[in-house]
C-alpha cells in the first residue's frame, strides 16, 4: 500500500466518522481541515512551493 493510499483511507475514515456521529456540516468542517493539513504537509515535504505566490503578493504592494 502506498503512502497516498494510506492517507486517502485515513481521510475517508475521518470523514465517515464525522458524518456518522455528526451531520453533513461537521463532515465538511473535517474535510476542510483535512485539505488544509494536506497542503501544509506538501509544503513541509517540499513538494509544493509557495514562493512564487508569496513573492508576487509582496511585489504588488
CA distances (Å), 27 to each of 11, 30, 50, 51, in order? 11, 5, 28, 31
Q: Look up the domain containing 35 and give its range.
A: 3-59
CA distances (Å), 5 to each of 23, 34, 46, 58, in order? 26, 15, 19, 37
Neighbours of 28 (CB within 10 A): 14
Mean local confidence (pLDDT), 7-25: 85
pTM given for the model: 0.64
Q: How many domains does the chain have?
A: 1
CA distances (Å), 25 to each of 13, 46, 48, in order? 16, 32, 29
pLDDT level of residue 58 (50, 70, 90 thresholds)? low
**Is residue 3 pLDDT above 70, yes or no?**
yes
Amino acid at each position: 500500500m502506498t503512502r497516498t493510499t494510506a492517507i486517502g483511507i485515513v481521510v475517508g475514515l475521518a470523514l465517515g466518522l464525522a458524518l456518522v456521529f455528526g451531520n453533513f456540516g461537521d463532515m465538511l468542517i473535517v474535510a476542510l481541515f483535512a485539505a488544509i493539513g494536506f497542503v501544509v504537509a506538501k509544503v513541509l515535504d517540499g513538494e509544493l512551493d509557495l514562493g512564487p505566490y508569496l513573492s508576487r503578493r509582496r511585489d504588488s504592494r
